[in-house]
């Protein structure tokens, strides 16, 4: 299943008056990163509030020559496709994206919204649920996060999200077990479809079983049916 983990940075907190200045997205396929990302800074066509700059470190000068949202909107929507979109405090990011789309006369996002903050609160009650705290909980290295940044935060959140979903260890363990069975059974086809494996008894094994029944089991039903 394809999913997009994404984050935005903005000029401030009020969606009516503020704009997006950075978008970062990471693609997952079956909870594994594909290496595909989408990232851009945006010219918000207004000043960035000082309080927001202290959070993400993005200044007016840094985005002065960046494209406007309308310039990248179609490429962003193509990257999203119709798959679920995962964000931390997702309503905030969705509201800003939908406001930007509305300014272009476009409909709001129809993608399924997945909020990792809601997931974290359910799975880890009684502790802090911001991204830094979750990185510490799941041993995700966030040492390079001096400021909030949309692409870096999306990459960190992708690792945290996989852990919130139960991690990958269980599936890796099953895969390893299947590989061991394939290696141990002589003549088993290399391609195994699913976890259930059926092994056909060899002619020698059938003969040995029949001999056992003749010597140890009197009047065996199996022999009558297969004699």
Active-site residue list? 148
Sign of CA dihedral 107, 110, 111, 116: positive
C-alpha distances in angstroms, 147 versus 57, 78, 83, 115, 134?
6, 28, 29, 22, 16
Q: Which DSSP string corresponds to 68-118?
A: PHHHHHHHHHHHHTTS-EEETTHHHHHHHHHHHHHHTT-PPP-SPEEEHHH
């Amino acid at each position: 299943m394809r999913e997009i983990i994404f984050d935005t940075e903005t000029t401030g907190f009020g969606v009516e008056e503020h704009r997006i200045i950075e978008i970062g997205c990471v693609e997952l396929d079956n909870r594994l990163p594909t290496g595909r990302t989408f990232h851009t800074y945006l010219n918000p066509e207004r000043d960035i509030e000082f309080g927001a700059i202290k959070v993400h470190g993005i200044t007016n000068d840094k985005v002065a020559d960046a494209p406007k949202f309308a310039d990248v909107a179609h490429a962003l929507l193509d990257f999203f496709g119709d798959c679920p979109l995962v964000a931390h405090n997702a309503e905030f990011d969705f509201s800003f994206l939908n406001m930007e789309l509305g300014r272009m006369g476009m409909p709001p996002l129809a993608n399924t919204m997945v909020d990792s903050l809601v997931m974290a609160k359910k799975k880890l009650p009684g502790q802090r649920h911001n991204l830094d705290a979750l990185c510490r909980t799941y041993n995700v290295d966030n040492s390079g996060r001096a400021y909030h940044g949309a692409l870096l935060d999306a990459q960190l959140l992708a690792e945290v999200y996989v852990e919130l979903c139960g991690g990958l260890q269980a599936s890796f363990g099953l895969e390893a077990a299947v590989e061991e069975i394939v290696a141990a059974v002589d003549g088993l086809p290399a391609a195994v479809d699913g976890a259930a494996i059926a092994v056909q008894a060899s002619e020698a094994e059938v003969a040995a079983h029949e001999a056992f029944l003749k010597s140890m089991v009197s009047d065996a039903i199996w022999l009558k049916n297969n004699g």
